[in-house]
Structure 1
Amino acid sequence: MTLLPLALGCGSGNNLAQVTGTVTYEGKPIEEGKIIFEVPGQRSAFGVIENGKILNVSTFEQGDGAPIGEASVAINAFKPPAKPQKDAPTSASAPGGPSGMVITERALPARYANPATSGLTCSIQAGENELTFDLTK
């Protein structure tokens, strides 16, 4: 029973704010990816990137937003897997690994995948937040 108040204290409450925006790399929208917002002392928020737009940022429940505060940000995106060639080998000895294995290539420099190395930050305020991230090599 003593854990109940602690669990209630960790709820989404009003310390979350809605986050939308855009993400580009070298001036082009990121087709598909993930974004992470880390505010010190708070639970991380995760969102998706589709056609350059930040969508569905969630901390506790789908679409509930990100914690208010100064956030370090990570963005991860991969190039769409190449379509297999009609005559491509399918054995485990084939380049790329076992049959059916999909190998993906990063669409962004690896530094952007970690909030500690990305160099990306933002201030999340109460209410609506429209963010823009223009990434470069």
Structure 2
Amino acid sequence: MSGSLTYKGQPIKAGTMAFHTPEGTTYAAQISTDGTYSAADLPEGELVVTVNTEHLNPARKPPAATGRDTEKRMKMMQSRQQPQGSAVVPDEPYIKIPEKYSNPKTSPLTITLQSGRQVHNFDLD
């Protein structure tokens, strides 16, 4: 299965998709920088589709760390100091989408797969 993924008509250029069976099995797919995805070996039948981009959010706070973790992190950051004036550019563009799309219990996205190659485009609103 393959297709494209957009949010309000604009391509979602990074993130992950998951296809959930009624039994609870999950199949993952990566979203490409051109807004397309491809997933192999999906089972036939109805699947709930979820989309997650939040792990790419540059404003997302890291989990709370212990004193020992903080010390290690500080040493690592000091060893990776960037030259003054250089900007950190994220590897993948982040697009915020509504949280409902990331949870299989609230995602309105579903597909019914049959055997063979299929193309399905998703437009989130």
Aligned to 2:103: 114
- Structure (1 or 2) with the greater strand fraction: 1
CA distance in 1, matches of 2:28, 2:12: 16
Q: Percent identity?
A: 34
Pairwise CA RMSD of aligned residues? Answer: 2.7
Aligned to 1:23: 5
Q: TM-score, normalised by structure 1?
A: 0.59
Aligned to 1:46: 28
Q: Which runs of 5 or more structure 2 residues have no equivalent in the other structure? A: 60-72, 78-93
Q: Which runs of 5 or more structure 1 residues have no equivalent in the other structure? A: 1-18, 58-63, 83-97
Runs of 4 or more, structure 1, over 6 Å off, are none
| Alignment size in residue pairs | 94
Matches within 5 A, 1:1-137: 19-41=1-23, 43-50=25-32, 51-55=34-38, 57=39, 64-78=40-54, 81=58, 107-136=96-125
How far has the Cα of 1:52 moved from its partner? 1.0
* SS of equivalent to 1:111: helix
How far has the Cα of 1:80 moved from its partner? 6.1
Higher relative contact order (CA 8 A, sep 6+): 2
- Structure (1 or 2) with the greater helix fraction: 2
